[in-house]
Amino acid sequence: MSIPLLRELHEDVRRLSIAGANMAIDDLRLNRIQPQLAQLGEKAPIFKRVAEEVAAVTKAQPEDAAGKLLDLAVLLQAVLHTQSTTEAPGELSALGSSTGAVASTNIPYRKLKPLMDALTQRGPGRLEIITQGKTDGAFADLRTALPAVHALRDSYSEIADYVAEHVIPIVGKAVLPMLQQQFDRDGASGDARIITTLYKLTDNREELWPLLSSVSKEAALPVRLAAIALMADLPHFEEELLDLSYARKKEVRGAALAAMSHLSSSKIDDRFMEALMGKDAELSIGPIQNYESAALTLQLLHYGKALIDKNVPSVKDVELREKLGSVIQCLETRAEDGSVISFLMAALENNHLEFKGTESLTSEAAAILLHSNDINALTFMHEQRSEKEYFVGYSFKAALRIYDAAQVYELYESYFKTKKGKYMSDLLQTIYQYSHNSLIDILFEGRSRQNLAWDERWVDRFIELNEEELVCRLATKPDKKVIAYLVEKSKVAPQLLKQRTIHLFYALFRLGHRDTPDMVIDALELAAQKSFHYLDREAQVVIAMLPSSYAERIQQIADKVTYEYAKNQLKQLAEQLAAKPEEINEKQEGAGFLSWIKNKIY
């Protein structure tokens, strides 16, 4: 049979259907094929039929052409469908992978399909589907493996990172060949993830070392950086890393220095010093901080002293100052070293670090010393306050660590006489830093933290200074003066239900002031007149602290509120108050109260 002829004819039918059936009448090609078909038809009747149909098309009236053409198409398709081949010549090679721990394909369509789409397509909400898929164990399914590898290249990096970190390890070693096949050294950040996951997943890491080494020298930048990061921890690569730390690209140098910080040798010590003294100072600070080497510490101190010596005569040299700054930053992780402490103390004492525009140097040095918890250093800092006025904030912090509450008060209360002092804000900031608002603690930590012990006398001092937040924080006893002050303060615009008002109410509750519930109700009533949109969580806690007998009144206020959301909040609170257990009514603190509050507010 002459099948090629029929295929040719089929092409012609296609062409004519596209161009329009009118063109088929007296079509040249059809006319040429028709006699050949007729001739073949003498032997095989099917060709005869085809020949007849072709003739019917070419001789059709214009209005019948379409029908005839379609008749021909139907016939041709029926014939050709029986003539397709299933030939597949070539050498057979076996398939299958025995490394695969995953073989199951049990995840149903409705779970699998959204997950596959999330891994391979774009759009919002995908990360959630993927995390859910992970919790459901969907990644045990073989069919998710390739899409997961695909997702390593996702342009939304959070998905790609999540998949690299949490999903691929679950899919397991079965993806190794896929990763290997997909890796493209000239690719982009996706390939960086691929090489990292590949390396982490493989059993025989040494096999990949040559690849790491060649990729680290020449590949797309993100891939290079990933390879260099993988070389950390491996003494095998020390020489290569040292070479790479001289690379032309800044990012590569940075990555090499960072990788080197996990190793240790005198060559690396020298390279770090070289980098710090040269143009790569900025790149080397982080790695040096992470690098553990006593020898390097010595070199740093040596270099620092040399800088200081130079610095004394020429205070204007900005570059030197910056270098000194870098050295001090490098010392940050070396505070436990006695020589570092004495270096910093000496530098502070001799005003080496004190010149215009060096506040940051001073504060860094001071922070390192504070962090060291070295008693000599702390005492030294405490004493510095008399020498240098600007240092009083640091001295105060140091004093808090070495003296008890009463001593601290006596030593430092004189600095808190007025709010006008030049360095007052440093001091107040310190108190804020070392005291807590227990209401905020309840909400964000779920527990109340132990306050640093503060002397009672501070409260009076802050009343004088009119620091209401600090009074709220530090007051522990229902002293008349304190209560009067807080009550007075809470009268300022209570209807706005501002945070400060809420804190005042909370402090009054804490101090056991009897009128507090009525004050809260009054404020809420005023607020309801003005209408408000919602209650924040702090306000909810304060309302929840009302005795249960107030449930009715909260309900009444809720009815007056116009905004639906706030109304519902109040109604819920009223319900909870009504159901408040008796023992919690009695004692508004402690673990029982906290767990009750947490249950109600969250």
Angle at which helices 457-465 and 480-490 cross, to 10°: 30
Give the nearer residue to another protein in terms of CB position, either 564 or 586. 564
Of 84-113, binders to another protein (CB under 8 A) are 84-98, 100, 103, 105-113
Site residues (CB under 8 A) for another protein, limited to 138-197: 142-143, 145-146, 174, 177-178
Q: What whole-number distance in Å separates Cα of residue 228 and Cα of residue 351?
A: 42
Supply the minimum distance, in Å, between the C-beta of residue 90 and another protein.
4
Of 46, 56, 70, 188, the one binding another protein by CB under 8 A: 70
DSSP state of 449: P
CB 14 → another protein: shortest distance, Å? Answer: 6
125 is a site residue for another protein (CB under 8 A):
no
DSSP-derived secondary structure letter, 264: -
**Minimum CB–partner distance for residue 19 and another protein (Å):** 5
Q: How far, in Å, are 69, 312, 508, 543 from residue 516 at the CA level?
A: 94, 62, 6, 11
Instruction: Residue 341: name the closest of 329, 350, 331 by CA.
Output: 331
Q: Check: CB of residue 237 under 8 Å from CB of residue 215.
A: no
Say how far apart CA 120 and CA 131 lie, in whole Å: 15
Q: CB-wise, 282 or 575, nearer to another protein? A: 575
Binders of another protein among residues 305 to 364 (CB under 8 A) are none
Q: Which two tokens stand for residue 466?
A: 């009119």
Whether residue 165 contacts residue 139, with contact meaning beta carbons closer than 8 Å, is answered with no
Between 77 and 214, CB nearer to another protein: 77
Q: Is 90 left (phi over 0), alpha (psi -120 to 50) or beta?
A: left
Kindly tell me which of 113 and 371 has the beta carbon lying closer to another protein.
113
Least Å distance, CB 128 to another protein, is 11
Work out whether 602 is an interface residue with another protein (CB under 8 A): no
Q: Which of 2, 31, 39, 77 binds another protein (CB under 8 A)?
A: 77
Min. distance of Cβ 220 from another protein in angstroms? 25
104: tokens are 């199951």
Q: What is the CA radius of gyration of the chain?
A: 40
Q: What is the smallest separation between the CB atom of 504 and another protein, expressed in angstroms?
A: 36
Q: Which runs of E-coded beta strand occur in 231-363?
A: none
CB of 75 to another protein, least distance (A): 9
CB within 8 Å of 582: residues ≥ 6 apart: none
* Whole-number Å distance between alpha carbons of 415 and 45: 117
Tell me, residue by residue from 7 to 26, as one string, x for binding to another protein by CB under 8 A and - for no binding: x--x--xx-xxxxxxxx---
429 binds another protein (CB under 8 A): no
Chain residues binding another protein by CB under 8 A are 3, 7, 10, 13-14, 16-23, 65-67, 69-71, 73-74, 77-98, 100, 103, 105-114, 142-143, 145-146, 174, 177-178
